[in-house]
Amino acid sequence: MAITAFTGSATVQEAVPRKRSWVALVLLLPGLLYLVLFFLVPLVSLAITSLEVPSATTFGQYDAAFNWQTYGVVVSQYGTQILRSFLYALLATVFALLFSYPLAYFIGVKARRWPILQGLMIVLVIAPFFISFLLRTLAWKAILSDDGVVVGALKALSLMGPQGHFTGTPVAVVFGLTYNFIPFMCLPLYTTLERLDVRYLEASTDLYAGPFHTFRTVTIPLSLPGIVSGTLLTFIPAAGDYVNASSEFLGGTSSTMIGNVIQSNFLVQLNYPAAAALSIILMAIILVIVSVYVKRSGTDDLL
């Protein structure tokens, strides 16, 4: 759904091929097979699992059924965590956008005169990908730990109370999410801003628009495709993220997200129907949010 919205401005084909092209079909086959095997089958399997009931005899085994009540149970039990996930994802997306936009603007527009600087800065944005994000998040846990530099400095400056701490709090989780998703926000923004025609900005200035007015009415609309894809690339994975909020990393008991709930249900409680139902709810909510978002920004504003 999101894809078609993006390609709404697709180029129009000149002629319609008369015959069905078997070559195209054959080329399409591996992709289709991949989708069926690794997307459709797991999805159907997940839906079936979510409706199962516990086996009467063996702990941790489930029998096929049509127990849709599981959905109601998990929503009432984990409603807070579901809402929290989307709140954290929203916060992380907003923060990532606020950090990335000036950066991408500088690299894509201001640094055009110095291609070497431009290249270097792009490398710096991509560089974190060279190391697994698990390791980087663990490193943040050490940096933000109670005996670490940050907390020590804040306490020395009396900006943090003697019992204050970062790790295991919502602040640390949102921080981790923002940090981990900044490159995903920055790169799409850079690609659109890099093609920004500065003559539009000059024209705007010539028409007596101030810098803020120019930015609001010219730069932002022109970079909207980058903003939309950047926010999607951040929001969707952030809502389902379970690493940052896991107690092994930056989270604690007051900051668990839906991903952690699913993990616990799958791995510890062995409550597969609940975990499957939560996964489907998560996907459904994301699908709705994203469709509304793309429809609003994609067709009404983008074109």
Partner 1 sequence: MLNVVKEWPAMTRTMPQDPMILSLIQQAKQASFSRRSVLTSAGIGAATLALAACSTGGPAGKPTAAADKSSGDKTLTWANWSYYLDQDDSKKYPTLIAFEKQSGIKVTYDVAVDDNNTYYAKVKDQLALGQDIGADTVCLTDWMVSRLIGLGYVQKLDHSKIPNIKNLSPSLQNPDFDKGRNYSLPWQSGFAGLCWNKEKLPNGLKNVSDLWDPALKGKVGVLSEMRDTIGLIMMEQGVDISSKNWGDTEFSKAIDEFRTQVKGGQIRNIKGNSYADDLKSGDTIAAIVWSGDVTSINGEVGGDKFGFAIPDTGGTLWSDNYIVPIGSPRKANAEELINYYYEPEVAATVAAYVNYITPVVGAKEAMAKIDPSLVDNQLIFPDATTLDKVKIFRTLTNAEQSKYTVEFESVGLGA
Helix, coil or strand: residue 204: helix
Query: Rounded CA gap, 184 and 176, in Å?
Result: 14
**Residue 206 or 300 having the CB closest to partner 1:** 300
**Of 75, 142, 198, 287, which lies in the binding site for partner 1, with binding defined by CB under 8 A?**
142
**Residue 97 or 275 having the CB closest to partner 1:** 275
CB 266 within 8 A of CB 272: yes
Q: Which stretch binds partner 1 (CB under 8 A): 6-14, 109-117, 174-182, 232-240?
A: 6-14
The verdict on 145 binding partner 1 (CB under 8 A) reads yes
Closest CB 182 distance from partner 1, rounded Å: 25
Query: Rounded CA gap, 198 and 105, in Å?
Result: 12
The verdict on 264 binding partner 1 (CB under 8 A) reads yes
Residue whose token pair is 């916060």: 91
Cβ neighbour number for residue 217 with a 10 Å cutoff: 12
CA angle 37, 38, 41 (to 5 degrees): 60
Between helices 272-294 and 220-240, what is the axis angle to 10°?
Answer: 170
The verdict on 254 binding partner 1 (CB under 8 A) reads yes
**Of 141, 214, 219, 236, which lies in the binding site for partner 1, with binding defined by CB under 8 A?**
141
Per-residue binding string, partner 1, 151-180, x by CB under 8 A, is ------------x-x-xx------------
Q: Which positions ≥6 away from 105 have C-beta within 8 Å?
A: 189, 193, 219
Query: Binding residues for partner 1, per CB under 8 A?
Result: 8-9, 11-16, 36-37, 40-42, 44-45, 48-49, 52, 54, 58-61, 64, 77-78, 80-81, 141-142, 145-148, 163, 165, 167-168, 247-248, 252-256, 260-261, 264, 266-271, 303
